[in-house]
Amino acid sequence: MADGERTMVNRTEGKRRGGGRVSEAGKETGLKISRFFTDPSIHPYDAIEGGWGRRSAVIYDEKGAEIFKQENIEVPNAWSELALNVVVSKYFKKSANPDEREKSVRQMIDRVARTIAGWGRKDGYFAAPEDAGTFEAELTHILVNQMAAFNSPVWFNVGIEDKPQCSACFINSVDDSMDAILKLAHTEGMLFKFGSGTGTNLSRIRSSKEPLSNGGEASGPVSFMKGYDAFAGVIKSGGKTRRAAKMVILDIGHPDIGEFIDCKANEEKKAWALIDSGYDGSFNGEAYNSIFFQNSNNSVRVTDEFMRAVLEDGEWRIHAVTDPNQVIDTYRARDLMDRISDAAWICGDPGLQYDSTINDWHTCPETDRIYASNPCSEYMFLDDSACNLASLNLMRFRNAEGGFDIEAYLHAVRILITAQEIIVDRASYPSPSIAQNSHDYRPLGLGYANLGALLMAQGIAYDSPAGRAWGGALAAVMTGEAYRMSAETAGHKGPFSGYPQNEKAMLRVMRKHQAAVEDVEHNYLPADLSAAAHRVWSEAVNLGELNGYRNAQATVIAPTGTIAFMMDCDTTGIEPDIALIKYKKLVGGGQFTIVNQTVPEALQKLGYSEEQTHRIVEYINENNTIEGAPDLKEEHLPVFDCAFKPAKGVRTIHYMGHVRMMAAVQPFISGAISKTVNPIALVGSG
């Protein structure tokens, strides 16, 4: 669709009001949806490249034993066996009655796309019935062609439950009372049951160094973490085999911060002792099932004040929760940072969350601060809130010439962000407070996946200025267009309820996003991508000034583990490839072998012949590395660098390559980025 064809709200038409946008004729308008991918005379399923076939979904364990099988599944021929196995085993509707089970990818996608479109019709999102039909067709096309996917709870629950839980990410509050502490356990359990994850900052709970009101000794948050961890360990996500996901956070100023920092590392050492004694040390083995804190990610919230104390080798005073004027402990700030680093080296936790920066980019500070995140840390917003996620598969937006189709990308952003917005009012939530905040602030989490594969296919090294320019620009275009669409929707449905109170702050953050576009190294970008980044942010800010925004947040970068396989992505989120040949174990059993499919395209992009490409790919298959491959020029090796150093190679992406990519992308994301930074690079050649 050409730029001029986009649906825009006329600045002279009507005026903004809380209940929606009213035209001069006095009638509320709705969204006009243009066709881009589909033809009204052809159903999206009939236009799919390669057609449809029937296959069996089979999963084997690492010993070759069959642990799952469903036969005669209708599936697009273009979908891989991996995508088929993931979708059938995880997302197909299950039933004790064989006649009620889903047997086709068509059924699954129809269940979701038709339900969301139907909600949109009933809730007045579309200008006319034909717009609703167009929306359903475009969404169906996007999903069946693996251009995007919703988060797992949508596939689990939409079209099955009357009020489905649709959000993957929740943030829950807890207060310093036994009632609140036990209520949190119940809320988390219900979230795990329906396939979602949750995070909570426990810093409001008084420390073990402070007395109870009746004179007894307080247990402190770390003690309660043991109970929360036990529930997470026994309640499977979505009632399936996925593990529950949770985040536990403690402020750097909490009196129990030392115990919190060390708790998971100490348990890890216990597991080592059990393994040395002969207990099973595998993922689901008895050693790790016997220790605490294995079902949560732990993070420490640090402020700029604390980080300055670390840099200046200063003292850090810890104050009581119940009496902020009472100093409980005094630490050398660097000692605390060293403990955090040592613990993270031992067991991966705790992580760090930068409180000051997070709140500087907060769109709703007049409501409250941001205290916590979801388990994977991409969703950061108000306590007692939820976010439904979706991710775009960047590799599906290349044109026939191998370039990136900007207009297709923009259109997909509009369709997906509209679908996510529709979901907000039709979903269920585990508590009244989460429901209220979801309706009042309407945070969304659109993101992208397969960045690593896209860069490789373009012949661009992940750890390079060009790679970072592409990562930042694609994020800028996505978030800018998402907010532009949010402002357009606000013109019809009204801005989110919390917007008037936070208007000044939110517009400040929007202008920060817009200003960051100038920091992208545009000389590494195609002209149309560079122009789009500038254009969408100008439109997003201008239309937001007129209409406000429908959503307090619009984008995150999620880890996209399972849905990345559903979309046949070679890489997840903003990660580079882990390895050119890799293996994934499934919770509940089973193992997939995943071979990078992007290498041949990258080699062709770099000018290698078909014969040379074949020889190089054969070498990779035999050696699990591209290093030493025949015909390969040394200057092209960085294009194929991965996060892990191969057993027969020396190359890997330096840890700062990961950090710099995050720095390039983060200024254009509403929330944050779920990202693995691999410290193995410290001992590699990098």
- Three state DSSP letters for 102-125: CCEHHHHHHHHHHHHHHHHHHCCC
Asked if the model's pLDDT at residue 243 lies above 80, the reply is no
Per the listing, tokens 């009101």 go with 213
Say which range, 25-29, 497-501, 515-519, has the weakest mean pLDDT: 25-29
What are φ and ψ of residue 480, in 5° steps? -60, -45
Confidence category of residue 181, pLDDT binned at 50, 70, 90: very high
Angstrom distance (rounded) from CA 195 to CA 315: 43
Report whether 335 contacts 350 (CB < 8 A). Answer: no
CB neighbourhood size of 99 (10 A): 6
Report whether 553 contacts 498 (CB < 8 A). Answer: no
Residue with the bigger pLDDT between 1 and 272: it is 272
The residues with which 276 forms a beta bridge, in sequence order, are: none
Confidence category of residue 283, pLDDT binned at 50, 70, 90: confident
Query: Smallest Cα–Cα separation from 445: which of 221, 665, 671?
Result: 671
Residue 621 has what pLDDT? 85
What are φ and ψ of residue 363, in 5° steps? -80, -15
Confidence category of residue 59, pLDDT binned at 50, 70, 90: confident
Residue with the bigger pLDDT between 587 and 545: it is 545
Report whether 238 contacts 361 (CB < 8 A). Answer: no
Residue 11 has what pLDDT? 28
Query: Smallest Cα–Cα separation from 430: which of 170, 119, 162?
Result: 170
Dihedral (CA of 556, 80, 586, 237) sign: positive
Angstrom distance (rounded) from CA 486 to CA 150: 18
CB neighbourhood size of 670 (10 A): 27
Confidence category of residue 377, pLDDT binned at 50, 70, 90: very high
The 10s digit of each residue's pLDDT in 607-631 is: 999 999 999 998 988 888 999 999 9
Q: Report the share of the chain in percent with pLDDT over 90.
A: 77
Residue 67 has what pLDDT? 85
Report whether 443 contacts 559 (CB < 8 A). Answer: no
Angstrom distance (rounded) from CA 685 to CA 653: 9
350 prior amide bond cis, ω within 30: yes
Asked if the model's pLDDT at residue 239 lies above 80, the reply is no
Angstrom distance (rounded) from CA 602 to CA 395: 12
Phi-psi category of residue 557: left, alpha or beta, with phi > 0 → left and psi -120 to 50 → alpha: beta
Asked if the model's pLDDT at residue 594 lies above 70, the reply is no
Residue 22 has what pLDDT? 42
Catalytic site positions: 374, 376, 378
Asked if the model's pLDDT at residue 588 lies above 60, the reply is no
Per the listing, tokens 């499934």 go with 586
Average pLDDT, the chain: 90
Asked if the model's pLDDT at residue 8 lies above 50, the reply is no
Q: Please give the torsion angle defined by the CA atoms of residues 561, 567, 568 and 571, in that order, rounded to the nearest 10 degrees.
A: -40
Angstrom distance (rounded) from CA 157 to CA 480: 30
- 3-class DSSP state of 89: helix
pLDDT, mean of residues 445-463: 97
Asked if the model's pLDDT at residue 686 lies above 50, the reply is no
Confidence category of residue 63, pLDDT binned at 50, 70, 90: confident
Asked if the model's pLDDT at residue 5 lies above 70, the reply is no
Confidence category of residue 36, pLDDT binned at 50, 70, 90: very high
Q: How far is Cα of residue 142 from the mean position of the Cα atoms in its chain?
A: 18
What are φ and ψ of residue 582, in 5° steps? -140, 170
The residues with which 251 forms a beta bridge, in sequence order, are: 301
Per the listing, tokens 């267009």 go with 481
pLDDT, mean of residues 268-294: 89
β-pairing, 315-319 vs 327-332, is: antiparallel
Confidence category of residue 60, pLDDT binned at 50, 70, 90: confident
Tell how many helices (H) and how many strands (E) occur in the chain. Answer: 21, 16
The 10s digit of each residue's pLDDT in 393-448 is: 999 999 988 899 999 999 999 999 999 999 999 999 988 999 999 999 999 999 99
pLDDT, mean of residues 33-51: 96
Looking at residue 90, the DSSP 8-state letter turns out to be: I
Residue 10 has what pLDDT? 32
Residue 400 has what pLDDT? 87
The 10s digit of each residue's pLDDT in 551-572 is: 999 999 999 988 999 999 989 9
Per the listing, tokens 């046949």 go with 568
Angstrom distance (rounded) from CA 436 to CA 429: 9
Asked if the model's pLDDT at residue 591 lies above 50, the reply is yes
Angstrom distance (rounded) from CA 176 to CA 320: 13
The 10s digit of each residue's pLDDT in 103-126 is: 999 999 999 999 999 999 999 999
Query: Smallest Cα–Cα separation from 574: which of 457, 674, 458?
Result: 674
Which residues fall within 8 angstroms of residue 308, CB to CB, at 6 or more apart? 314
Confidence category of residue 582, pLDDT binned at 50, 70, 90: low
Angstrom distance (rounded) from CA 397 to CA 403: 8
pLDDT, mean of residues 192-202: 85
Angstrom distance (rounded) from CA 161 to CA 428: 9
Residue 237 has what pLDDT? 52
